[in-house]
Amino acid sequence: MNLERKPDLQADLLIIGGGTAGPMAALKAKRKNPALDVLIVDKATVRRGGSICRGMDAFNNVTIPSKATAAEYVDSIQLMSDGIIDPNLSRIIAEKSFAILQELESLGVATFPRYANGEYMVQQFHPRGAFLAEMRGDIKPVMEKLIREAGVRILNRTMASRILTENGRAVGATLLNIRTGEFQVCRAKSIILCTGGQGRFALPDTGYLFGTFDCPYNAGEGHSMIYHAGGELVNMEYNDVSPMLKDYEGPGHSTFIRHGGHLVNSLGERFMAKYAPEMLERAPSGIREQAMRTEVREGRGPIYYDLRHLAKETIQIIKEGIFAAERPTEKQFFEMRGIDIGNDLIEITLSGPNMCGGHGPTGALVDENAETTVKNLFAAGDIASTGWGFVGAAWVFGMIAAETAAELNAKIAWGSIDDTAVQAEYQRLLAPTLLEDGFDPAEMEYKVRRIIKPHLTSPKSQARLESALGQIETFRRDMAKVKVTDSHELMKFAEVDAIIDTLEMAVRTSLTRKESRWGYGHYRIDYPQKDPAWDKHYVVAAKNQRSGCMTTYPKAVPEMRMQEGV
Amino acid sequence: MGIRVDKSKCTGCGRCAEECPGDVIHMNPDTHLPFNKYKNDCWYCGVCEVECPCGAATMEFPCLIV
């Protein structure tokens, strides 16, 4: 293949990723300043790219004033994160989410079913407080149309590979068209990364590389880009593990549990009563994972969802949510297996570990403006550490990042592009196209991903983590042997490189946090207790700018600023 | 796996290939019909099915799922 260098692009605001947060950011940037030149790029298309390509069954963290309070939301996230999420970010999500729900409703992007008395259908999934509002609608095409009409420029099938910086500030990005193999630079005054979580991480039990829970097209490239740009990532030692429909590896957990479903073992026991007698199925995910693994280890597996006690009307709402809004192909799957979710037990397995800011605390360290520790580089959605942010954080911080960037635009001068960095990136992507023979990117990907479950699943140990570091070194060596034949494979080459980067972050931060926290979220068999010295402290993964090597260090979590009503 | 095409209904418009989030589906330049160029990259999301304007597309699960 030919990696063709195209003339540079330029945009006031470059948004990388057109899934959930990206289109909201684009819309809000244009609302704030219609003259702003906004460019959004997506590896797939803005119309159908990202985790919610078919929709989402709930606005899964909205604080509706009559239903819950901001204080309850902050409390719940503090409990789930065991104090390792900035509470100020949770407060912002709680305060701004309901206005977004109303706006999405008025724009016709989504509908929010209500009971006969006119109240929104809101259920409890978090340990405290009810924050999940039923949501319907084919969200993405409507959002795409809105941003097109607002004058946002859209570049589909385009992935970003590196952020270009000047004195610690983002000034542009390198882009690759995954269908044509064209390489170009986009200069920008500010950049918002909305590339999603690391969904293509541990090999799922399906044995199928792309049979993952979170969108497998989100391969952690954003995390990798922030890292190479000098930014900080936090909580990468946290194992994001969710219960999965066996063989489909698809969602259902939050829907089943918020509507009153139970988790049972093969003896029919509602086993969470032993591990979290008060919170039961609504216990933080690491506690739930520990419970499930213990049940299976002690011979009481498999584990099932039991919805058989739920009313017919409730089962109907669940079916509408999952089958019509979130993952319609799950309907086909259940039919193929002959499972009727209201009458049969639903066998489950465990995902991951993955890294998803929507389902856990992992991601880019951001402040209250969604700015990363690289100036003018923002991050929103599953890439950011905003604490079990789901769609709420994506929309709220997508909006905040865009409004901040739009406001700053007039005050920011254009940066200059370092051509040495551009050349280095061009050469990195060119190298696998020049090999006459070599490994397929998919073979390399399998080789890397197969070590994640054995080395990172809790209980973790120093010996297993150190052994993983040795393997990572060989992966880096062997990446030089990967050959690509077309631009699609070149995309995968860049993705595998990001998978290795995020794996190294997970392993090194797991070694650094010499304590156990979050149940099986991070359980060190050699340090089985929580250490108060680690309370309110992140482990940061970052690039040592002098050595070019990965470094980890503790960093204090910001205190809650006093605010009326919280 | 990806898309299964009912050739009697497909008009070759290319909507499925245009929107497939995994870049799985491409158009065959000779037959003007869609095909699974990268079938191992399918997330079985079903976008091909919902984007098809003439009901010619069915999403087919990968063999390791069924």
| Domain containing residue A322: CATH number | 3.90.700.10
The domain in which residue A464 lies consists of 419-531
Determine the residue among B19, B48, B58 to mutate to test chain A binding: the one whose Cβ has the most chain A Cβ atoms within 10 Å: B19
Question: Is the Cβ pair B45, A53 closer than 8 Å?
Answer: yes
Residue A372 is assigned to a structural domain of this protein: no
Backbone φ and ψ for A312, nearest 5 degrees, come out as: -55, -40
pLDDT tens, chain A, 566 aa long? 899 999 999 999 999 999 999 999 999 999 999 999 999 999 999 999 999 999 999 999 999 999 999 999 999 999 999 999 999 999 999 999 999 999 999 999 999 999 999 999 999 999 999 999 999 999 999 999 999 999 999 999 999 999 999 999 999 999 999 999 999 999 999 999 999 999 999 999 888 999 999 999 999 999 999 999 999 999 999 999 999 999 999 888 999 999 999 999 999 999 999 999 999 999 999 999 999 999 999 999 999 999 999 999 999 999 999 988 888 999 999 999 999 999 999 999 998 899 999 999 999 999 999 999 999 999 999 999 999 999 999 999 999 999 999 999 999 999 999 999 999 999 999 999 999 999 999 999 999 999 999 999 999 999 999 999 999 999 999 999 999 999 999 999 999 999 999 999 999 999 999 999 999 999 999 999 999 999 999 999 999 989 999 999 999 999 999 765 54
Instruction: Write down which residue in A97, A116, A137 finishes a domain.
Output: A137
Strands A262-264 and A182-193, bridge-based pairing: unpaired
Whether residue A337 is found in the same domain as residue A432:
no
Residue A287 is assigned to a structural domain of this protein: yes
Tell me how many domains chain A contains.
3
- Closest of A535, A505, A511, A534 to residue A524, by C-alpha: A511
Residue A368 is assigned to a structural domain of this protein: no
Residue A255 is assigned to a structural domain of this protein: yes
How far apart are the CA of A548 and the nearest CA of chain B, in angstroms?
32
Q: How far apart are CA A431 and CA A406, in angstroms?
A: 38
Q: How far apart are CA A525 and CA A236, in angstroms?
A: 18
With an 8 Å Cβ cutoff, is A327 touching chain B?
Answer: yes
Q: How far is CA A277 from CA A270, A274, A283, A544, B62, in A?
A: 10, 6, 9, 45, 40
Which residues of chain A make contact with B22, given a CB cutoff of 8 A?
A: 44, 210, 216-217
Residues facing A540 on adjacent strands: A234, A553
Helix (H), strand (E) at residue A193:
strand A182-193
Q: What ipTM was reported for this prediction?
A: 0.98
Which residues of chain A make contact with B38, given a CB cutoff of 8 A?
A: 488
How far apart are the CA of A379 and the nearest CA of chain B, in angstroms?
22
Q: How far apart are CA B42 and CA A209, in angstroms?
A: 9
Residue A116 is assigned to a structural domain of this protein: yes
Helices and strands of chain A, counted as H and E runs = 16, 19
- Closest of A178, A210, A149 to residue A23, by C-alpha: A149
Comparing CB atoms, the residue among B22, B42, B64 nearest residue A207 is B64
Q: How far apart are CA A432 and CA A425, in angstroms?
A: 12
How far apart are the CA of B8 and the nearest CA of chain A, in angstroms?
23
pLDDT at A566: 45
How far apart are the CA of A17 and the nearest CA of chain B, in angstroms?
12
Q: How far apart are CA A415 and CA A405, in angstroms?
A: 15
Q: Which residue is associated with the tokens 């789901």?
A: A390
Give DSSP secondary structure letters for A290-355. Answer: HHHHHHHHTT---EEEE-TTS-HHHHHHHHIIIIIII-THHHHHHHHHT--TTTS-EEEEE---BB
CA torsion, ordered A291, A297, A301, A304, to nearest 10 deg: 30
What residues have CB less than 8 Å from A65, skipping those under 6 apart? A98
Strands A377-379 and A4-5, bridge-based pairing: unpaired
Chain A 491-520, residues with CB within 8 Å of chain B CB atoms: 491
Contact A24, A143 (CB under 8 A): yes
How far apart are the CA of B23 and the nearest CA of chain A, in angstroms?
7
With an 8 Å Cβ cutoff, is A79 touching chain B?
Answer: no
What residues have CB less than 8 Å from A211, skipping those under 6 apart? A204, A248, A249, B43, B44, B62, B64, B65
- Closest of A346, A339, A174 to residue A255, by C-alpha: A346
Question: Is the Cβ pair A44, B66 closer than 8 Å?
Answer: no
Helix (H), strand (E) at residue A163:
strand A158-166
Q: How far apart are CA B50 and CA B21, in angstroms?
A: 13
Closest residue in A to B1 (Cα) is A210
Whether the upstream peptide bond of residue A251 has omega within 30° of 0, thus cis, is no
Question: Is the Cβ pair B21, A247 closer than 8 Å?
Answer: no
Question: Is the Cβ pair B43, A179 closer than 8 Å?
Answer: no
At residue B63, does pLDDT exceed 90?
no
Specify the 3-state DSSP secondary structure of A280: helix
Domains and CATH numbers, chain B: 2-60 (3.30.70.20)
Which residues of chain B make contact with A219, given a CB cutoff of 8 A?
A: none
Comparing CB atoms, the residue among A48, A212, A336 nearest residue B47 is A48
Count CA atoms within 13 Å of residue A376 on its CB side: 29
Instruction: Write down which residue in A350, A367, A386 finishes a domain.
Output: A350
Which residues of chain A make contact with B64, given a CB cutoff of 8 A?
A: 206-208, 211
How far apart are the CA of A205 and the nearest CA of chain B, in angstroms?
10
Instruction: Write down which residue in A137, A165, A194 finishes a domain.
Output: A137
Closest residue in B to A47 (Cα) is B19
Q: How confident is the model at residue B66 (pLDDT cuts 50, 70, 90)?
A: confident
Count CA atoms within 13 Å of residue A160 on its CB side: 35
Comparing CB atoms, the residue among B18, B42, B46 nearest residue A210 is B42
How far apart are the CA of A44 and the nearest CA of chain B, in angstroms?
5
Q: How far apart are CA A509 and CA A505, in angstroms?
A: 6
Question: Is the Cβ pair A45, B23 closer than 8 Å?
Answer: no
Cα A130 from chain centre: 22
Whether residue A342 is found in the same domain as residue A429:
no
Residue A430 is assigned to a structural domain of this protein: yes
Residue A21 is assigned to a structural domain of this protein: no
Each residue of B3-56: pLDDT tens digit? 999 999 999 999 999 999 999 999 999 999 999 999 999 999 999 999 999 999
Question: Is the Cβ pair B51, A48 closer than 8 Å?
Answer: yes
Question: Is the Cβ pair A329, B45 closer than 8 Å?
Answer: yes
Which residues of chain B make contact with A215, given a CB cutoff of 8 A?
A: 21, 43
Contact A254, A132 (CB under 8 A): yes
Question: Is the Cβ pair B43, A488 closer than 8 Å?
Answer: no
| Domain containing residue A439: CATH number | 1.20.58.100
Residue A270 is assigned to a structural domain of this protein: yes
Whether residue A262 is found in the same domain as residue A343:
yes
Q: How far apart are CA B39 and CA A442, in angstroms?
A: 12
Q: Which tokens go with A319?
A: 């079916």
Tally the residues of chain A. 566
Whether residue A251 is found in the same domain as residue A341:
yes
Segments in A182-328 forming alpha helices (H): 221-228, 253-258, 272-275, 285-297, 312-319
